[in-house]
Amino acid sequence: MARQSQAGSVSRLPEVPPELQSSVNLTTLDQVYAWARKRSLWPMLFGLACCAFEMIATAASRYDTARFGMEIMRASPRQADLLIVNGTVTKKMAPLLVRLYNQIAEPKYVIAMGACAISGGPFKEGYNVVSGVDRLIPVDVYIPGCPPRPEALIHGILTLDARFDHESIRDIRAFQTGEDKGIPEPALGPDLLNWRDLEGLVGPPEEKR
Amino acid sequence: MADTINGMPVEVWEKLQARFPGALHPAQPPERGDAEGYPQGGEHRMTRSVSRSVLQNRPRYEGVLVHSRHLLDVMRFLRDELGYVMLSSLTAVDYPEAVGQLPPHIDVVYHLFRLEGGGYVVLHVHTAREGAILPSLTPEFAAANLQEREVWDMFGVRFDGHPDLRRLLMWEGFDGFPLRKDWREAYFEEEHKPFRSRFPEGGSPLYAEERTPYHANVRYSREFAEHNLHVDEDFSEADALLYERMLSADRDTDKPLKTEEMILNMGPHHPSTHGVFRMAVRLDGETVRHLEPVFGYLHRCHEKIGERNTWLQNIPYTDRLDYINGMTNNLAYCLAMEKLLGWEVPERAEYIRVIMAELSRVVNHVLAAGFFSNEIGMYFTGSLYALEERELVLDLFEAAAGGRMMFNYMRPGGIARDLPEGWIERARALVRGRLPKKVKQMQSFLLDNEIVRARSVNVGMLSAHDAIASGVSGPVLRACGVRYDIRRAEPYGIYDRFAFDVVTREHGDAFDRVALRFDEVWESLRILEQALDAIPEGPIQSHRLSPKMLIPPGETYARIEAPKGELGFYLVSDGGANPYRYHIRATSLLNLTPLSALTRGVKIADVVSILGSIDLTMGEVDR
């Protein structure tokens, strides 16, 4: 592995002796990692609005996400690795959503399900609505629809699965050195104070205090 | 109707006049008929000046105008002597400019109902826009509690004497009162849709982001300077007020044993809270000393958007209120529009409406029972039974309306499209064949289960008196033994033609609330069988609709027995292509009024049991 990293590319795998070929399989660490993660995504049980019902329907018997290794939805962010933002993110909810995202352990993924999570959707103009969850947290897969059908959600999950094949543990955030400070939580002032939007205007919150 | 004046029974008006001579005025001036011959459904857009003059005359406005100093007396008189015990809806309308002789004011509107039916009484109370203040009804009318808080939050009307006047939907410290007509959101483009940038030419619409300085949907007051851009580390002002309330309410200082109490936040992210509902609980050990519900985590500004939309544009938005029951939400809004328009609905459309509404009720009740089992700890098992049946009903909805959850199916004067070929037979097969078997199975699995009984019998007992006083409706009210169903008390549509019983239970505990839903499913199936057999052929729409249809000026309140209870729409039209006021009387919100009282002194585990038995949808609670 060390030699491989130095070379910067995967070297040719050695031959497996014929007597061991039935029990030994050679592969890369990346592939093993991707294979394992693909079939064990645990979404967080996080229902925001209408789309949550389609997510529940997807988990139920007709669509059955258990076929894709999503056996169970965990209510605690600490036990989940997929955040499906299914519904309108309101400004009042925004700080809590960021906190929940920060609490999910790496590696973590976010699916923005439905028009509201993508852009604010039909409620975009509302004074209490965040125009898309990607203003707060990074999003991996967007699923359009209002609400998306269960098939669409499954397609989104499979799209995310396909991404794992192209990921290397060398650049996954979870294995990087250094402290992960997380995303600063927006605050509720006279309106939503999203530090990322205000960066040009004022310093980050630590400097202001 | 001949025996009503200003929308209320004549005898009530006479009794009120006799009791409060000279204190009450009809909200409607004597000259009538301005609305006659008014262009309906016309293509042209009225100029604002025309609509303004119509508003000045206030034709077809309902109820009586009460001075705020008489408000409490009139309310007591109506409740105690005339039997108007249900303060169903309490909301406000903002008039930022002078209307006729009236100066700019905020009009707070109260809708009262009797258990026996027979129309409503509307009270209007005016208050100045600056320093708006009215006497609070909350100490005597529990149903006013959350609704007054909402009016304070949205309109900035203070209620003198309200024990806990905090913001309901927005957070404490939010700048402005959003439903005032002169308050504009960050993405404000024009007062009314369709926006000129999109209609009729279209072209390249501006992105809403380009109009705001931060490229996000935020707006700060002019006084809010850069140096204010910091907040407390732990919690903001909003929670400070909440915790202050938590710590001050119902302190029991004479406890023999001094114990330390703790505040626990359940939600807004919690597996048992049906979405983003938050309960701040003050606990003494495992016992709940005080519970404060916190709303607004799904406040999607429905009413503000609704007042910018055209009348028809609001129909798809209603789908997203109580997103399990899109059909009944459509129905309530269309009934309200039809009341203002005076339109009739063709026979076939009436039947289809009933069929859709009752199918929706079956889905809702079965799901409610399923999620109740979730909440008491049967993780997902109970729901799986419910969701299986839901899918079959959704297939029917999809075949008729084109969507699984969001239907946009009903229209004023009928429905959007007719049923496809073979739909009735499919529905009949489901209603006669599969559903009764499955509902019976689920009912016995759930209600005969010893653990379910242990978790719900005698938990969260609500008395009939408290339920009525706190504005509770629907199955929660009927589980307390009150035989009140709007389909019977004030039948709308063609409900008076069907044979069904208004089922009740006696105890008003969590078990009865769940069990009653199953009883109602059986009644719904009865209605469905009758409707599916009797449905005639014929037209489905009585009028041609135009996207910018106009509705004659006036106000109305239409309500239906939605699966969760009374769903009402209060509409004010100034004659334009948009509602002047669009208020939703949310069932789920009002059903949560007694939550704090119900949970006092119970164990923390029973809180989820009680909440689950109330059956709420956050989309409707927060709107």
DSSP B431: I
CA-based nearest distance A198→chain B, Å: 7
Q: Token pair of B302, please?
A: 């429905």
The per-residue pLDDT for B396 is 92
* A57 domain residue, yes or no: yes
Backbone phi and psi for residue B473, each to the nearest 5 degrees, phi listed first: -145, 175
More confident call, B205 vs A42? A42
Which among A191, A196, A208 is the top mutation candidate for probing chain B, defined by the most B β-carbons within 10 Å of its own β-carbon?
Answer: A191
Q: Is A27 contained in some domain?
A: no
Over range B108-125, report the average pLDDT: 86
Average pLDDT of chain A is 81
Q: Are strands B133-135 and B158-160 parallel, antiparallel or unpaired?
A: parallel
Enter the tokens of residue B284.
Answer: 């003494």
Is the per-residue pLDDT at B569 higher than 90?
A: yes
Q: Quote the CA–CA distance of B338 and B331 in Å, as a whole number.
A: 10
Residue A10 within any structural domain of the chain? no
- The verdict on residue A82 lying in a domain is yes
Residues 1-40 of A with CB under 8 A from B: none
- Tell me if residue B585 falls in helix, strand or coil: strand
Chain A stretch 136-175, residues whose beta carbon is closer than 8 A to a beta carbon of chain B:
146-147, 149
ipTM (interface predicted TM):
0.84
- Average pLDDT over every residue of B511-525: 92
Whether residues A49 and B189 touch (CB distance < 8 A) is answered with no
Structure confidence at residue B44 (pLDDT): 35
For residues B80 and B601, the answer to whether their CB atoms sit within 8 Å is no
Which of B188, B219, B271 is facing A45, going by the closest CB pair? B271
Task: Choose the closest CB to A129 out of B215, B301, B391.
Answer: B301
**pLDDT class of B392 with cuts at 50, 70, 90:** very high
Give contacts of A75 with chain B, Cβ < 8 Å: 270-271
Judged by average pLDDT, the poorest of A171-180, B78-87, B442-451 is: A171-180
Residue with the bigger pLDDT between B124 and B252: it is B124
Q: How many residues does chain B have?
A: 623
Q: What pLDDT, on a 0 to 100 scale, did the predictor assign at position B228?
A: 56
Which amino acid, B562?
A: A
The answer to whether A123 contacts B404, with C-beta atoms less than 8 Å apart, is no
pLDDT in the model for residue B147: 92
For residue A79, give the CATH number of its domain.
3.40.50.12280
The H helix count followed by the E strand count for chain A is 8, 5
Among A98, A128, A151, the residue to mutate for chain B (most B Cβ within 10 A): A128
Q: How far apart are CA B493 and CA B480, in angstroms?
A: 27
Low-confidence winner among A20-34, B45-59, B101-115, B194-208 (lowest mean pLDDT) = B45-59
Of residues A139 and B247, more confidently modeled:
A139
SS (H, E, C) B460-529: CCCCHHHHHHCCCCCHHHHCCCCCCCHHHHCCCCCHHHCCCCCCCCCCCCHHHHHHHHHHHHHHHHHHHH
- Looking at every residue in chain B, the average pLDDT score rounds to 83
Q: A187: nearest CA in chain B?
A: B231
Q: Quickly count: other Cβ atoms within 10 Å of residue B388's Cβ.
A: 16
In this complex, the residue of B214, B231, B274 whose CB is nearest that of residue A197 is B214
C-alpha B546/C-alpha A201 separation (Å) is: 47
What pLDDT score was predicted for residue B59?
53
CA B158, distance to chain mean position in Å, is 22
Quote the longest CA-to-CA distance of chain B.
76
Of the listed ranges A13-22, B346-355, B501-510, the one predicted with least confidence? A13-22
Helix (H, G, I), strand (E, B) or coil at B440: helix
CA distances from B368 to A63, A138, B457, B476 (A): 21, 34, 17, 12
What residue type is A201 in one-letter code?
L
Look at residue B34 in the predicted model and tell me its pLDDT: 39
For residue B217, the model assigns a pLDDT of: 82
3-class SS string, A59-113: HCCCCCHHHHCCCCCECCHHHCCEEEEECCCECCCHHHHHHHHHHCCCCCEEEEE
Token digits of residue B76: 């007591």
Of A126, A129, A155, nearest to A142 by C-alpha is A155
- What DSSP letter does each residue of B272-298 carry, written as one string? TSSSS-EEEEEEETTEEEEEEEE--TT
Residue A70's pLDDT band (cuts 50, 70, 90): confident
Q: Does A75 lie at the interface with B, CB-CB under 8 angstroms?
A: yes
Q: Which two tokens stand for residue B194?
A: 């369709």
Look at B298 and A87 and tell me if their CB atoms are within 8 Å: yes
Cβ–Cβ of B275/A52 closer than 8 Å? yes
Q: Is it the case that residue B237 has pLDDT exceeding 70?
A: no
Whether A129 shows a pLDDT value over 80: the answer reads yes
pLDDT at position A10: 53
Percent of chain B exceeding pLDDT 70 equals 88
In this predicted structure, the answer to whether residue B6 has a pLDDT above a threshold of 80 is: no
Residue A87 lies in a domain: yes
**The pLDDT value given to residue A3:** 41
For residue A209, what pLDDT band results from cuts at 50, 70 and 90? very low
3-state secondary structure of B266: strand
Q: Of A155, A183, A190, which is closest to residue A65 (Cα–Cα)?
A: A155
Any chain B CB within 8 A of the CB of A49? Answer: yes
Res. B361: pLDDT tops 90: yes
Q: Flag whether pLDDT at B49 surpasses 50.
A: no
Q: Give B346 to chain A, closest Cα distance, Å.
A: 30
Convert the pLDDT of each residue in B168-189 to its tens digit: 898 888 888 999 988 888 888 8
Bridge-based pairing state of the strands B120-128 and B414-415: unpaired
Q: How far apart are CA B613 and CA B64, in angstroms?
A: 38
* pLDDT reading at B111 higher than 50: yes
| Contacts of residue A46, Cβ cutoff 8 Å, sequence gap at least 6 | A52, A83, A84, A85, A86, A100, B269
Residue A108 lies in a domain: yes
In-domain check, residue A4: no
Encode pLDDT of B261-311 as tens digits.
Answer: 888 888 788 777 677 888 889 888 888 888 889 988 999 999 999 998 999
Q: How far is A193 from chain B (nearest CA, A)?
A: 8
What is the C-alpha separation between A120 and B300, in angstroms, rounded? Answer: 10
Least Cα separation, residue A143 to chain B (angstroms) = 17
In a domain, A24, yes or no: no
Domains (ranges, CATH) in chain B? 4-30+61-160 (3.30.460.80), 252-294 (no CATH), 302-622 (1.10.645.10)
**Contact partners, residue B224, CB within 8 Å, separation at least 6:** A189, A190, B175
Instruction: Residue A207: list chain B partners with CB under 8 A.
Output: none
Tens-place pLDDT, residues B558-568: 999 999 999 99
Q: Give the phi and the psi of residue B28 in degrees, each rounded to 5.
A: -115, 130
Q: What is the pLDDT of residue B66?
A: 83
- Cβ-defined contact of A126 to B301 (cutoff 8 Å): yes
Chain A residues touching residue B300 (CB < 8 angstroms): 49, 88, 90, 123, 126, 128-129
Sheet holding B86-95, edge to edge: B24-26, B64-66, B120-128, B105-113, B86-95
Residue A67 has pLDDT above 90, yes or no: no
Name the residue facing A190 among B224, B299, B323 (closest C-beta): B224
Q: Quick one: average pLDDT of B183-209?
A: 79
Percent of chain B with pLDDT over 90: 25
What is the helix (H) or strand (E) element at residue A116, kind and residue range?
helix A114-119
List the single range of B120-129, B184-193, B221-230 with lowest mean pLDDT.
Answer: B221-230
Q: What mean pLDDT do residues B226-244 have?
A: 63
Tell which residue, B230, B188, B300, has the closest CA to residue A198.
B230
Phi, psi of B262, deg, nearest 5: -130, 155
- Is the pLDDT assigned to residue B53 strictly greater than 80? no
- Name the CA radius of gyration of chain A, rounded: 20
Q: Could you give the number of structural domains in chain A?
A: 1
Higher pLDDT, B160 or B255: B160
- Nearest 5 degrees, angle CA B436-CA B439-CA B440? 80
Q: What's the pLDDT band for A205 if we cut at 50, 70, 90?
A: very low
CB B131 within 8 A of CB B105: no
- CA nearest neighbour of B56 among B586, B611, B575: B575
Q: Which range marks the domain in which residue A58 is found?
A: 39-198
Task: Determine the distance in angstroms separating the CA of B236 from the nearest CA of chain A, rounded to an integer.
Answer: 7
User: For chain A, what's the residue count?
Assistant: 209
Axis crossing angle, helix B381-401 with helix A50-59, rounded to the nearest 10: 120
How confident is the model at residue B77, as a pLDDT?
87
- What residues in A contact B360, CB-CB < 8 Å? none
